[in-house]
Amino acid sequence: MKLFTRTTIYYLLFSLPLLMLSGWLLYYNIERALQHEVDEELQNSKELWEQHLNSLPAAKDILELNNPYVQIEKTSITSNNNFYSDTLVYEPIEKENDPYRNLTVFIVRNNQHYKLSFQRSVLEHKAVFKKLIVVMSYVFGGLLLLFLLINLYINKKLWKPFNTSLEKITSLNMQQLQQVHFDKVAIREFDALNSSLNAMTGKMQADYLSMKTFTQNASHEIQTPLAIIQSKLELLLQDSQLTEQQTVAISSAFEATQRLSKLNQALLLITKIENNQFTALEKMSMKAVVEKYESFFVEMMDEKKIAFSITVKADWQLLIHPLLADMLVSNLFSNAIRYNKQQGEIIITIRDGSFEIINTSTMPAIGAAKLFHRFAKSDTATGNGLGLAIVKEICDSNNIAIQYSFNNTYHQFKLTPL
């Protein structure tokens, strides 16, 4: 979720209840104030009328005094309780019910109980009140909108240096060793952030560079003594005085240096893949890569009399470094041959977006724990135990998903885009 969305939600979460509460308080208080005023007016007229009635001669029939402001009627109810009430009164002119506030007073005159009802239209008050609510809503709505606009502005303006730095750091490509600099900004926190970022990226780049040269130098340093050992052994083999036993011993040592050298190269390759030192520049055709290796592997397959079939439903164009494409295919292919049985079977299927290699084998299914793990080779394996680890590493670094399945002596590896 974007920071702006988050802050907006928080603004709304806090301000809406607050506005609602203050709206309600305002409404409640204004209504009370208005009612209080009406009630006071009614009370005043009641007092004026009572004085007036008291000043009249006793014989005067007060029922004659009836008028729109006060209705007087006889009643049998004996009560001292005056009370206010709200009523609707039908206005014949406008043909509608209008709200009225009513004060009912009971008096005794010449032993006769009367009920006096004082009425005031509150229609105007209600109209004023309605207007007030509308204005209030506008004000509150405007306030809310203003909040959001201020928030937007703050987000745009204040966070700008942050967003600039963020953009820079996300587009930063370590393996291409781009020089990146985070500028000085006025806001102290962001400035601190930027200078830390400068220090960090500088350190990372220096480390990356030194690691890169280290791995290459390490390989160089190991390969040179290996080259010396190998050349000396090869020269030693030329000695015609050697016994057969000595020759075999030298050959074994020779083969071992070869393995050591291959192992060194494989580990170096994995490190390079992990460091993303292989940048894919163009799309590789899986079909072309497989075909490149086919003629070589056909010989190996012939040795085991393996039946090989390849089906290309549609070519898969894959964005990957050519060297890695080669390693990927050749490792999977050679595994399929190496662990195959005599008169076995290999089936390769290429579709647009998938590469599948299925082979028969006398070996059981590869356990999930061993699959793709470095040096996790089986007892009869002749490889260096890094083949599948390299395959996995290549897949991981190139957004390829690799699946392994085992079904009735058939081992299957399937590559799909992640």
Partner 1 sequence: MMKLLIIEDEVSLRDSIQQYMETQGYLCETAGNFNEAMDKIDFYDYDCILVDIGIPMGSGLDIVKELKGMKSKAGIIIISARDAVDDKIIGLQLGSDDYLTKPFHLSELNARVAAIIRRRHFDGEEKILFNEIEIHPAAKSVKVNDGYLEVTQKEYDLLIYFISNKGRVITKSALAQHIWGDHYDQAASYDFLYTHIKNLRKKLIESGAADYIKTIYGTGYKFTDN
Interface residue list for partner 1 (CB under 8 A)? 216, 219-221, 223-224, 226-232, 234-235, 237-238, 244, 247-248, 250-252, 254-255, 257-258, 261-262, 265, 268, 293, 296-297, 299-300, 302-303, 323, 330-331, 333-334, 337-338, 382-383
Minimum CB separation of residue 174 from partner 1 in Å reads: 18
Is residue 254 within 8 Å of residue 232, measured between CB atoms?
Answer: no
Q: Which is nearer to partner 1, 106 or 293 (CB)?
A: 293
Q: How far is the CB of 179 from partner 1 (least distance, A)?
A: 21
* Minimum distance, C-beta of residue 216 to partner 1, in the bound complex (Å): 6
What does residue 31 show for φ and ψ, rounded to 5 degrees? -60, -45
Q: Strand 70-74 relative to strand 96-109: parallel, antiparallel, unpaired?
A: unpaired
- Indicate the pairing of strand 307-312 with strand 345-351: parallel
Indicate the residue among 173 and 231 with the shorter CB distance to partner 1: 231
Return d(Cα 24, Cα 26) in angstroms, integer.
5
Token readout for 263 is: 């192992």
What is the smallest separation between the CB atom of 214 and partner 1, expressed in angstroms?
13
Smaller CB distance to partner 1: residue 104 or 384? 384
Nearest CB to partner 1, comparing residues 9 and 248: 248
E strand residue ranges, 361-417:
400-407, 410-417
- Residue 86 parent element (H or E): strand 83-91
- Output the smallest distance, CB 7 to partner 1, in A: 49
Given the complex with partner 1, which of 173 and 224 has the nearer CB atom? 224
Element containing residue 97 per DSSP (H, E): strand 96-109
Q: In a 3-state reduction of DSSP, which class is residue 94?
A: coil
CB neighbour class for 350 (10 Å; exposed up to 12, middle 13-18, buried from 19): buried
Q: C-alpha angle with apex 86: 84 to 88, nearest 5 degrees?
A: 145
And the tokens for 11?
Answer: 């603004």
With respect to partner 1, which residue has the nearer C-beta, 26 or 218? 218
Query: Alpha-carbon dihedral of residues 380, 382, 385, 389, nearest 10 degrees?
Result: -110
**What is d(CA 303, CA 307) in angstroms, rounded to the nearest whole number?**
11
**Rounded least distance, CB 223 to partner 1, Å:** 4
Nearer to partner 1, 73 or 255 (CB): 255
Report the nearest approach of partner 1 to the CB of residue 318 (Å). 19
Q: Which of 158, 159, 136, 145 is nearest to 15 (CA)?
A: 145
Q: How far apart are CA 5 and CA 18, in angstroms?
A: 20
Provide the minimum distance between the beta carbon of 276 and partner 1 in the complex, in angstroms, as a whole number: 15
Is residue 325 a contact partner of residue 289, using CB atoms and an 8 Å limit? yes
In DSSP terms, 311 is beta-bridged to 349
Taking the complex as a whole, the smallest distance from the CB of residue 167 to partner 1 amounts, in Å, to: 31
- In the complex with partner 1, the residue whose CB is nearer, 55 or 245, is 245
CB of 411 to partner 1, least distance (A): 16
CB of 2 to partner 1, least distance (A): 42
**193, 165 Cβ separation under 8 angstroms:** yes
Residue count of the chain, please give it: 418
β-pairing verdict for 96-109 and 112-121? antiparallel
Residues 106, 79 contacting (CB under 8 angstroms): yes
Nearer to partner 1, 94 or 299 (CB): 299
Helix axis angle, 244-274 to 188-237, nearest 10°: 170
If the CB atoms of residues 252 and 362 are measured against partner 1, the closer one turns out to be 252
Q: Which is nearer to partner 1, 75 or 265 (CB)?
A: 265
